[in-house]
């Protein structure tokens, strides 16, 4: 029987790979829909791991010990990152529905591009052994 290499301990992780588009989508889904979208790392753990976009809840019982690691997407952002543009923030005066749609679409596109410059290069994992810092590499 072949066993997958790895460890049940997240402290073996040195770096996480995250697709930049996954992180932006997770941030947007959390803001727009209020859905529990996270970046998830599934065990067994190795030195280099991939964090993938995931809608939290309804976890498989295959992952009981250790459980997958779930990260709120904002953990990957610097503290001064811009917030997602709210619809009311892009409302023109006087109001015109077509202009509002255009302005909001432009604001969201600008946010999607600018938010990438606020991605953190390291995050801290909360582990049973205490805090553990890992580097983050963005793909795409």
pLDDT (tens digit, 9 = 90+) per residue, 62-119? 556 788 999 999 999 999 999 999 999 999 999 999 999 999 999 999 999 999 999 9
* Domain count for the chain: 2
CB 27 within 8 A of CB 74: yes
Domain shared by 71 and 95, yes or no:
no
Q: Write the pLDDT tens digit of every residue in 55-75.
A: 987 665 555 678 899 999 999
Domain shared by 111 and 127, yes or no:
no
Report the alpha-carbon distance of residue 88 to residue 100 in Å, rounded.
9
Taken in order 103, 83, 68, 33, the sign of the CA dihedral is: negative
Axis-axis angle for helices 20-33, 97-114 (nearest 10): 140
Cβ-count burial 38-51 (b if 16+ within 10 Å, e if not): bbbbbbebeeebbb
pLDDT at residue 3, as a whole number = 46
The total of other beta-carbon atoms located within 10 Å of residue 63's CB is 12
pLDDT at residue 39, as a whole number = 96
pLDDT at residue 64, as a whole number = 64
Report the alpha-carbon distance of residue 59 to residue 64 in Å, rounded.
9
Domain shared by 27 and 89, yes or no:
no
Domain of residue 107, residue span: 78-118
Greater pLDDT, 41 or 56 = 41
CB 16 within 8 A of CB 121: no
Tally: H helices and E strands in the chain = 2, 6
Domain shared by 32 and 2, yes or no:
yes
pLDDT at residue 125, as a whole number = 92
| Confidence check: pLDDT of 135 > 50 | yes
pLDDT at residue 66, as a whole number = 85
Domain shared by 31 and 95, yes or no:
no
């Amino acid at each position: 029987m072949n066993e997958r290499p790895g460890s049940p301990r997240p402290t073996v992780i040195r770096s996480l790979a995250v697709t930049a588009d996954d992180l932006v989508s997770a941030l947007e889904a959390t803001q727009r829909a209020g859905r529990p979208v996270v970046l998830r790392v599934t065990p067994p753990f190795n030195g280099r791991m991939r964090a993938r976009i995931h809608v939290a809840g309804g976890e498989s019982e295959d992952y009981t010990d250790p459980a997958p690691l779930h990260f709120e997407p904002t953990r990957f952002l610097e503290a001064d990152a811009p917030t997602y543009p709210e619809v009311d923030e892009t409302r023109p005066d006087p109001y015109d529905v077509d202009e509002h749609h255009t302005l909001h679409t432009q604001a969201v596109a600008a946010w999607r591009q600018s938010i990438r410059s606020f991605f953190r290069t390291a995050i801290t994992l909360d582990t049973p052994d205490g805090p553990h810092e890992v580097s983050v590499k963005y793909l795409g």
